[in-house]
Amino acid sequence: MMFIASPWEIVGMLRISALFTENAELAALSEQAEKLTLSQQQWNAIVPAPLKPYTQAGSVSHKRLTVYADNGAVAAKIKLLLPSLMVGLQKQGLEVTSIRVEVQVKSSPAKASKKLRVISPVAAASLEKLAGELKGSALGDAIARLSRRR
């Protein structure tokens, strides 16, 4: 299937590309984004699959690739694999002589509050009976509290 753009879409694309070429800051930002995308693609091609979701390639500066790991364990594993990762990146065409690993902790979402579980009336009655038999003990008190979850 062939995609044919309408004249309005072509004009819009030309305006956007002109905006990036006319504005030096946007052009530099666009170039940096392309470099980051390329280094991420090359990193994804060589990093072991179990580590891929926990790492992100950063920028290449002075022939050094910065890699961000989600936690210290992942960073340690990457450091163990550095020689083979370097060879893989060089085979991919990325000119790097070292890899810098940084831990970049992501903020975790707030934990959901635990839902209070309820028990059936039949189970509650059985627990109340047992709590009465064990009255005065720590176990009896705990079972009595449990029997009130209706």
Of 139, 25, 23, 45, which is closest to residue 92 (Cα–Cα)? 45
Set out the domains of the chain in order of their start, with CATH numbers. 7-103 (3.30.300.180), 109-150 (no CATH)
Beta-sheet strands, E only, within the chain: 55-61, 64-69, 98-103
Q: How far apart are CA 46 and CA 145, in angstroms?
A: 56
pLDDT at 76: 95
Residue with tokens 């309820």: 118
Calculate the CA 30 to chain-centre distance: 24
CA dihedral (123, 126, 132, 134) in degrees, to 10, reads -90
Determine the 3-state secondary structure of 93 from DSSP.
coil
* Stretches in the chain below the pLDDT threshold 70: 1-22, 108-110, 150
The reported pLDDT for the residue numbered 94 is: 82
Across the chain, how many H-helices and E-strands are there? 6, 3
Q: What is the pLDDT of residue 113?
A: 77
Q: What is the pLDDT of residue 40?
A: 87
